[in-house]
């Protein structure tokens, strides 16, 4: 059919895979003038050949041959390479053109700036197996693929956001500081937390650690003790260094007033001051800290820790003015501030609302805790105390009352234990300290005696009905169930609310007792006014307030600098959280670790306010951090950012998917190696001194992972080395009846190289039969024998290990009477076979790429028409179509190139940008 269709393609050809077959195809097609798009999933082109030591039979250096081709590929004017990219799908249209969707994965490194210096790699705190050394050695999460990589650019491997970071309301990089502690970089860990908040010591004690709830390690023996690790670095920092170690930045000439010095206000002040703002905090109380100082008991959060954290803020120039109440925000703004942040929290306790509440001995829990912090608490010696409420303030009040001599402390809560809003640990700890609980009771009135002193709390019993708006079951009174709990003091802890005084006069700002803000920017209807923390949300927790303070500071900076207000990337633009199932699947087995537990000792009759939870020792901290599973791979510790002299690290990069139209496709996706552990009788993965042939090739390469050929079990230079051929090939039991064509010759090559490197070593190869069917291949084999290698015909039945790591091979010696023989070696190399890369099955949508009976890409007429597949316009080059050595791969790529050129010629596809298809398009 002749047709004339005006259309456009982006490239003449797309080549998938940049091994030697893909590079050869690309270069030849580009040399012919075709525009080539080469897609490679790794960060460097080169495939597997560049990882080899030498090539057989010439023993030429693999890098010396491959390197120039890699360079030509990258630099050819007609080749566009997409490294670190994947083809998501290819569809052929009615005209025979192909529409490919290609995802460029983020490298998190600006390659235009990266110089390949590898300083990021050296600084990185996460070690992972190096796939380019077949897991013989560690690389880092920040890495350059291998020394000869082209392009020689770094990549930061990120599988997503680690669950601990993803779940932190303050956006603290928990994985980052855990990995730094694991590396012994304690001060760096402290500084990383400081990036988010000055309240390092506080959060190390008083955070409820949602990170630990999401920790993947929790699915094994126990979560990483993330919160206590934070305390560890804070304590260490304050003990050794004192101040934050942050220099005062140059002033930017702008000023911000912050009302309230709780966690939101302090964090916002810290963030703003660090970028040059003059910040003044106005605090109603005589001391700064808000609830941190006045509501949290010192056995949980010592005052000196709060003071140390606050000193971080004042140390960079933030002024905190105490005993100053702000009732008029407009007047405050009129003093000349560029913006105002309201962060006054929820200082007002909700009253009980029952008769007798004015009696002597009735107090709110908040007031009581505040009085305790100021040393003005009423004497409870010998008294019975009832605390009404089920939240954290109720628990703090109850435990504090226990410490101040109360004879009996009872918590009365209108729902059941399961419904308590207090954190489970707080309830459990209160119980351990002798606090009693009366569940499903609600106060009716305070019973007062002569002189108006409290004598009891009249309650009625409740039952749980249907769930209310909060999702918790609604308590309903039981008629006629009233009773009195005898007591001398009643503390109400049933709720807290903001003080509306500062903002009630501003139009459109108040929302009941709270202040209304844009939840993303925290800006109010009054442009200069922002609000953060509990004053916007109602009572929540410290970590949320810290996150809100960070967000507010970001928005205030944008507002003052005249930039648009939008999302806060540190909280709103994280990579997707890593799937824990994927994390767990990275390992075949997990060893048990001893959990690092706090070991807090509780007294049933506590009497002091000293800090309860013991500090971690350094050994505990290292061991605790050592269990981290590096869920996101990169920990976001930021050490690479600090180390990079080119400022090339960019964590804001995101994947980019592009649609390309091409005239033809070359599949050159290579092969997979046989997984040697599928032959358990050979002990790979069980015996340390059994390795694969590809691993041995790395040990022989100039860029080897060890200093020489060493056996992995103990680092010994091996004297007796055995090869076992046909491991996973010519073997129906392992699902691969085909000969892999390369194993014999790469083994012979390695035999010779070993004898060159270790002249005293004995090298023995156990083989079925040597296949040396190539030019000079048999001569190469004979040469190896002449050099002293021993070749024993007979299948190895089993390998066992001795106590010293040596290995016993049991085999049939066919050429010597077929006797069963056992021989001892230092190191065994399994000459693993190659198998089809079945990823090709997912490449095409709409039609299936045909595979042969062994799952290699089928060449329907391979003998006469090599390289052509069963999809018109799709060609195959190299080992995607079957096992081949390098020579045959290059020849096959040449055949594919000729096929592609013929196809493009037939379709008249030449000029990629203004292409006219005027042809009979192959059906």
Partner 1 sequence: MSTTLRDPREIIREEPMMHSPILWALRAGPLTVPEIAEHIGEPANEVLFWVMGMRRYGHVVEVEDPTDEGYFRYASVHQEATS
Residue 538, by phi and psi: left (phi above 0), alpha (psi -120 to 50) or beta?
left
Q: How far is the CB of 694 from partner 1 (least distance, A)?
A: 15
Q: Give which of 168, 128, 267 is closest to 177, Cα–Cα.
A: 168
Q: How far is the CB of 821 from partner 1 (least distance, A)?
A: 23
Q: How far is the CB of 120 from partner 1 (least distance, A)?
A: 12
Q: Which is nearer to partner 1, 20 or 629 (CB)?
A: 629
Residue 755 CA to residue 721 CA, distance in Å, equals 10
Q: Which is nearer to partner 1, 137 or 787 (CB)?
A: 137
Q: How far is the CB of 807 from partner 1 (least distance, A)?
A: 10
Q: How far is the CB of 145 from partner 1 (least distance, A)?
A: 14
Segment (H or E) for 282: strand 278-282
Return residues touching partner 1 (CB under 8 A): 121-122, 125-129, 135-140, 179, 182-184, 586-591, 622, 625-626, 628-630, 685-688, 705-708, 710, 712-719, 801-805
Q: Give which of 227, 212, 63 is closest to 697, Cα–Cα.
A: 63
Burial 37-56 (b: 16+ CB within 10 A, else e): bbbbbbbbbbbbbbbbbbbb
Could you tell me the two tokens for 185? 């970089």
241 DSSP 8-state letter: T
Q: How far is the CB of 136 from partner 1 (least distance, A)?
A: 7
Q: Which is nearer to partner 1, 146 or 491 (CB)?
A: 146
Residue 147 CA to residue 67 CA, distance in Å, equals 11
Residue 631 CA to residue 774 CA, distance in Å, equals 47
Q: Which is nearer to partner 1, 714 or 779 (CB)?
A: 714
Q: Which is nearer to partner 1, 273 or 763 (CB)?
A: 763
What are the Cα distances from residue 722, in Å, to 694, 749, 796?
15, 14, 11
The distance of Cα 581 from the centroid of its chain, to the nearest Å, equals: 13
Q: How far is the CB of 633 from partner 1 (least distance, A)?
A: 10
Q: Which is nearer to partner 1, 364 or 638 (CB)?
A: 638
Residue 77 CA to residue 30 CA, distance in Å, equals 8
Q: How far is the CB of 588 from partner 1 (least distance, A)?
A: 5
Q: Give which of 447, 433, 442 is closest to 403, Cα–Cα.
A: 433
CB-CB contact of 664 with 873 (8 Å): yes
Q: Which is nearer to partner 1, 60 or 822 (CB)?
A: 822
Could you tell me the two tokens for 461? 């019993």
Q: Which is nearer to partner 1, 408 or 826 (CB)?
A: 826
Q: How far is the CB of 237 from partner 1 (least distance, A)?
A: 19
Residue 369 CA to residue 357 CA, distance in Å, equals 18
Residue 832 CA to residue 504 CA, distance in Å, equals 77
Question: N- to C-terminal Cα distance for the chain?
Answer: 9
Q: Which is nearer to partner 1, 673 or 772 (CB)?
A: 673
Q: Which is nearer to partner 1, 95 or 127 (CB)?
A: 127
Q: How far is the CB of 115 from partner 1 (least distance, A)?
A: 18
Residue 588 CA to residue 653 CA, distance in Å, equals 32
Q: How far is the CB of 105 from partner 1 (least distance, A)?
A: 21
CB-CB contact of 693 with 750 (8 Å): yes
Q: Which is nearer to partner 1, 121 or 429 (CB)?
A: 121
Residue 206 CA to residue 202 CA, distance in Å, equals 6
Q: Which is nearer to partner 1, 333 or 593 (CB)?
A: 593
Q: How far is the CB of 618 from partner 1 (least distance, A)?
A: 10
Residue 760 CA to residue 763 CA, distance in Å, equals 10
Query: What is residue 290's three-state secondary structure?
Result: coil
Burial 399-408 (b: 16+ CB within 10 A, else e): bbbbbbebeb
Burial of 341 per CB tally in 10 Å (0-12, 13-18, 19+):
buried
- Phi (first) and psi of residue 285, to 5 degrees: -80, 170
Q: Give which of 616, 596, 298, 299 is closest to 433, Cα–Cα.
A: 299
Q: Which is nearer to partner 1, 474 or 716 (CB)?
A: 716
Could you tell me the two tokens for 110? 């600006």
- Count of Cβ atoms closer than 10 Å to residue 64 Cβ: 12
Q: How far is the CB of 189 from partner 1 (least distance, A)?
A: 12
378 DSSP 8-state letter: P
Q: How far is the CB of 412 from partner 1 (least distance, A)?
A: 49
β-pair type (496-497, 348-349): antiparallel
Residue 140 CA to residue 151 CA, distance in Å, equals 18
Q: How far is the CB of 590 from partner 1 (least distance, A)?
A: 7
Q: Which is nearer to partner 1, 803 or 863 (CB)?
A: 803
Q: Which is nearer to partner 1, 716 or 785 (CB)?
A: 716
């Amino acid at each position: 059919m002749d047709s004339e269709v005006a259309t456009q393609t982006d490239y003449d050809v797309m080549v998938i895979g940049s091994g030697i077959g893909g590079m050869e195809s690309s270069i030849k097609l580009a040399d012919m003038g075709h525009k080539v798009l080469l897609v490679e999933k790794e960060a460097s082109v080169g495939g597997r050949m560049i990882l080899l030591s030498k090539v057989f039979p010439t023993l030429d250096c693999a890098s010396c041959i491959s390197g120039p081709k890699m360079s030509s590929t990258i630099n050819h004017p007609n080749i566009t390479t997409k490294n670190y990219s994947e083809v998501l799908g290819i569809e052929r249209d009615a005209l025979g053109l192909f529409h490919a969707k290609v995802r460029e994965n983020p490298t998190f490194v600006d390659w235009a700036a990266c110089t390949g210096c590898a300083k990021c790699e050296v600084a990185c705190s996460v070690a992972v197996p190096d796939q380019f050394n077949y897991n013989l050695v560690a690389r880092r999460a920040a890495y350059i693929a291998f020394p000869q990589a082209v392009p020689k650019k770094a990549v930061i491997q990120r599988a997503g956001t680690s669950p601990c970071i993803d779940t932190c309301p303050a956006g603290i990089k928990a994985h980052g500081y855990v990995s730094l502690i694991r590396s012994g970089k304690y001060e760096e860990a402290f500084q990383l937390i400081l990036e988010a908040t000055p309240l390092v010591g506080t959060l190390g004690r008083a955070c409820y650690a949602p990170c630990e709830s999401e920790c993947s390690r929790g699915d094994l023996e126990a979560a990483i003790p993330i919160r206590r690790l934070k305390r560890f670095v804070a304590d260490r920092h304050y003990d050794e260094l004192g101040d934050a170690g942050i220099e005062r930045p140059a002033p930017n000439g702008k000023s911000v007033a912050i009302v309230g010095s709780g966690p939101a206000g302090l964090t916002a002040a810290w963030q703003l001051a660090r970028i040059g703002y003059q910040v003044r905090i106005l605090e109603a109380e005589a001391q700064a800290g808000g609830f941190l100082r006045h509501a949290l008991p010192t056995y949980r959060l010592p005052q000196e820790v709060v003071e140390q954290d606050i000193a971080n803020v004042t140390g960079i120039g933030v002024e905190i003015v105490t005993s100053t109440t702000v009732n008029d925000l407009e007047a405050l703004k009129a003093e000349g501030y560029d913006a105002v942040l309201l962060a006054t929290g929820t200082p007002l306790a909700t009253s009980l609302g029952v008769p007798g509440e004015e009696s002597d001995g009735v107090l709110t829990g908040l007031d009581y805790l505040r009085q305790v912090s100021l040393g003005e608490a009423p004497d409870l010696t010998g008294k019975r105390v009832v605390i009404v409420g089920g939240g954290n303030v109720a628990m703090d009040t109850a435990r504090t009352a226990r410490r101040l001599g109360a004879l009996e402390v009872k918590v009365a809560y209108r729902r059941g234990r399961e419904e308590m809003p207090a954190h489970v640990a707080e309830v459990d700890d209160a119980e351990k300290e002798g606090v009693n609980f009366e569940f499903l009771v609600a106060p009716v009135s305070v019973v007062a005696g002569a002189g108006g002193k409290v004598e009891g709390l009249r309650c009625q019993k409740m039952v749980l009905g249907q769930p209310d708006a909060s999702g918790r079951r609604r308590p309903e009174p039981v008629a006629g169930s009233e009773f009195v709990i005898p007591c001398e003091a009643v503390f109400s802890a049933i709720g807290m609310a903001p003080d509306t005084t500062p903002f009630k006069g501003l139009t459109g700002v108040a929302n009941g007792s709270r202040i209304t803000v844009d939840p993303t920017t925290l800006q109010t209807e009054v442009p200069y006014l922002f609000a953060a923390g509990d004053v916007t949300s109602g009572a929540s927790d410290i970590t949320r307030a810290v996150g809100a303070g960070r967000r507010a500071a970001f928005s205030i900076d944008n507002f003052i600098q005249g930039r648009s207000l939008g999302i806060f990337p540190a909280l709103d633009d994280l990579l997707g959280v890593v799937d824990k199932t994927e994390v767990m699947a990275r390992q075949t087995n997990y060893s048990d670790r001893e959990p690092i537990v706090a070991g807090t000792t509780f007294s049933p009759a506590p009497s002091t306010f000293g800090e309860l939870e013991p500090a971690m020792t350094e050994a505990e901290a290292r061991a605790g951090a050592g269990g981290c599973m590096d869920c996101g791979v990169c920990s976001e510790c930021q050490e690479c950012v600090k180390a990079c002299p080119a400022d090339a690290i960019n964590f804001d990069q995101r994947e980019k998917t592009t649609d390309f139209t091409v005239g033809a496709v070359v599949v050159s996706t290579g092969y997979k190696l046989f997984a040697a552990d599928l032959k358990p009788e050979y002990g790979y993965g069980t015996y340390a001194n059994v390795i694969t042939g590809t691993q041995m090739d790395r040990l022989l390469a100039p860029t080897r992972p060890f200093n020489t050929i060493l056996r992995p079990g103990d680092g010994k230079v091996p004297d007796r080395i055995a090869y076992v051929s046909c491991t996973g090939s010519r073997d129906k039991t392992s699902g691969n009846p085909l000969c892999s064509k390369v194993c014999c010759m790469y083994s012979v090559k390695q035999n010779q190289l070993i004898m060159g490197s270790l002249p005293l070593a004995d090298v023995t190869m156990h083989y079925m039969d040597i296949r040396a069917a190539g030019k000079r291949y048999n001569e190469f084999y004979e040469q190896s024998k002449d050099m002293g290698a021993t070749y024993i015909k007979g299948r190895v039945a089993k390998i066992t290990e001795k106590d010293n790591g040596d290995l016993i091979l049991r085999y049939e010696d066919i050429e010597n009477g077929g006797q069963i023989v056992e021989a001892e070696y230092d190191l065994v190399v399994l000459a693993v076979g190659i198998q089809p890369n079945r990823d090709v099955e997912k490449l095409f949508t709409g039609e299936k790429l045909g595979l042969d009976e062994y799952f290699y890409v089928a060449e329907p007429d391979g003998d006469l028409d090599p390289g052509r597949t069963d999809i018109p316009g799709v060609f195959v080059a190299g080992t995607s179509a079957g096992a081949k050595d390098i020579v045959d791969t290059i020849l096959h790529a040449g055949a594919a190139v000729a096929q592609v050129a013929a196809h493009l010629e037939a379709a008249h596809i030449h000029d990629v940008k203004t292409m006219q298809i005027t042809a009979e398009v192959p059906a």
